[in-house]
Amino acid sequence: MQTITVIGLGTMGHGIAQTFAVAGFDVRLFDENETVRDSVIARVQQNLEVMLQNGLLESINLDEVISRMIVCQAEQEACEQSEFIIEAIAEDLDIKREFFRRCEKVVTESAILASNTSSFPNSMIAAGLAHPARCINTHWFNPAHVIPVVEIIPGEQTSEDVVGKVMQLLHSIGKQPIRLQKEVPGFALNRIQVAMFREMLDLVDQGVISASDLDRAVRGSLAIRWAAAGPMRVGDFGGWDVLGKVYENIAPSLRSDSQVHDILTGMISRGEYGIKSGQGFYEYPQQDLPDIIARKDKRFMTWAKLLSDSITSGE
C-alpha cells in the first residue's frame, strides 16, 4: 500500500492522517467542513513540532511529511486512488453507512474500507455494502498520533485476508494493533471506559469525591498499576480470593442502570463539552488552548514512550 485516505479531519482524523504521513505514505484528506480542511495542515504541523521537541519522533523532515498530505476538495477525489480508506466522521450510523456506500462505488477493487467508530459493530456499518468482506473497524485512541494501541474489530463478513493486511499496515506505522475475537458494541476498551465513567460520575455526583481529587487519586494508584502491569496481572498480584470478596461486598451498591448519568446530561445541556467549549470539569480559557493542548500532549508522549517497549514485550 502506498496511498491512504482519511475522511473527517477533526479530533481523530488529523492525527490518523499525520501518523500515516510520518510513516512515508501518501495521504489524501477530506472533510466536509471547509474551515476544518483549511486548518488541518497547521494542526498537524503543531503536533509534529511537539513530538520532535519531546523525542517521540526521530529527526524527520517536516516539509517532506507535509508534502505527502494532499487536502482534497471533494470526497471522491480523496478516495478513488487509495488502497486504504479510513473514516473519522460523525458517530452516526446512517452517516457512516451512507459514506461507505458512496465510497465503494468509486474505489479500486482491492481497496480496504475502515471505520474509526467508537461504538458501532462493523457488521452494522457494512450492512448493505456490495463487498462487506473488505470493511473493518480500526479503533484508534485520542490523540491518535500518540497512543500506541489500535483495536481491530472485524465484522462477521470481513475476510481474514483484510484483517491480516490491516494488522500488518498498522504494525508498519509503529502502532500496536490488538485484534478482538468477537464484535460487541463499544468493543473492549470503550465498554470498560463507559463502565468506569458511570461509576466515577456517580461518585462525583453523590459528593463522595471531587472531580479533581478523583483525577489525582486514579493517576496515583490505579493508573500506575494498570500502566505498568495491566489490570488482569494486577489482579493476579493482589489475589483473586481477596478481590472476589471485595467484589461481592461492593457490586450490589455500584451504579448499574443504562441511562446516561444526570451529571453528564446536565453538562451537555449547558454546553460544557470540555476543552472544545472551554468548560468541562475544568476551565479552558480560549487564549490558553494551544499551550494547554501542547502540555497535555507532551505528558501523554512521555508516558507512551516509557511504556511502549513493555507493552510490546507483554510484561
Closest CB to ligand NAD among 15 and 132?
Answer: 15
Secondary structure of residue 112 in the 3-state scheme: strand
Give the distance, in angstroms, between the CA of residue 148 and the centroid of all CA atoms in the same chain. 10
Kindly list the distances between the CA atom of residue 116 and the CA atoms of 86, 121, 150, 207, 265, in Å, as whole numbers in the listed order.
Answer: 7, 11, 10, 35, 25
Q: Does 121 bind ligand NAD (CB under 6 A)?
A: no
Give the nearest distance from C-beta 98 to ligand NAD in angstroms: 7
Secondary structure of residue 127 in the 3-state scheme: coil
List 42, 60, 74, 95, residue binding ligand NAD (CB under 6 A): 95
Handedness of CA 37, 152, 219, 279 (dihedral sign): positive
Of residues 20-49, which lie at the interface with ligand NAD (CB under 6 A)? 31-33, 36
Closest CB to ligand NAD among 9 and 48?
Answer: 9
Q: Does 82 bind ligand NAD (CB under 6 A)?
A: no
* DSSP string for residues in 59-120: S--HHHHHHTEEE-SSHHHHHTT-SEEEE---S-HHHHHHHHHHHHHHS-TT-EEEE--SS-
Q: Does 13 bind ligand NAD (CB under 6 A)?
A: yes
Q: Does 12 bind ligand NAD (CB under 6 A)?
A: yes
**Nine-digit cell at 108?**
479500486
Closest CB to ligand NAD among 9 and 56?
Answer: 9
Give the nearest distance from C-beta 146 to ligand NAD in angstroms: 12
Choices 11-19, 204-212, 250-258, 261-269 (CB under 6 A): range interacting with ligand NAD: 11-19
Residues forming contacts to ligand NAD in the complex (CB under 6 A) are 7-13, 31-33, 36, 88-91, 95, 99, 116-118, 140-142
